[in-house]
A and B are shown apart, each in its own frame.
Chain A
């Protein structure tokens, strides 16, 4: 049972050989495979990160543009509203001015007619009063 013999050193040599063989056919290749896979995963991850960053930048740009055009639209609406208001105010002012003018004209015509009427009335009053005078004084004078 405890008989040591040449089995011991030969087994040791055999084991050392096995160590080198396994290192060549198992440990090194598998380490290489695992390293390569890690590298692959790492590059893929980096790529994915780059894509993600790109996508985020695009989304940001799009939102920026959207906000810009919205602001532009609002400015246009405001401008149009202001223009419309101005036009309305101008037209109202024009109409008011025209109405004023017409009123003044008709007032003037009225005044003139009044003056004419007064004038003719005065003439008539004058002639009438002359007639009265004539009638009254004529007989006296006569």
Chain B
């Protein structure tokens, strides 16, 4: 493989995961904070809030996972190799 392509792929893979983690990180933090505020305001709704929170966290998590999939493609199934 062309060493330039290999280097670019590795850098791209790192950036894909790293940048992809920013947005979901912010989102998950906001969501969790709101959930804690909700629980503090209404402790009896804790079960429902937690279930919804976990589901939404999984959705946000999957955004990072998309970045990870791209990184994996670049590393292990590079179309330009």
Contacts and interface: CB of A to CB of B under 8 A. Distances in A.
B29 to A, nearest CB: 32
Interface string A29-65: 0000000000000000000000000000000000000
A38 B67 CA distance: 49
A59 B74 CA distance: 84
Contacts of B76: 1
Interface string B49-73: 0000000000000000000000011
Interface string A103-127: 0000000000000000000000000
Interface of A: 1-3
B77 interface: yes
A129 B77 CA distance: 183
A2 B72 CA distance: 10
A3 B79 CA distance: 12
Contacts of B77: 1-3
Interface in B16-72: 72
A1 B73 CA distance: 8
A68 to B, nearest CB: 53
A3 B76 CA distance: 12
A89 to B, nearest CB: 78
Contacts of A1: 72-73, 76-77
A14 B64 CA distance: 31
Nearest to A3: B77
Give the top 3 A-B pairs by smallest Cβ distance, nearest first. A1-B77, A1-B76, A2-B77
A3 to B, nearest CB: 8
A46 B3 CA distance: 80
5 contacts: A1-B72, A1-B76, A1-B77, A2-B77, A3-B77
Nearest to B78: A1
B79 to A, nearest CB: 9
Contacts of A3: 77
Nearest to B77: A1
A43 to B, nearest CB: 33
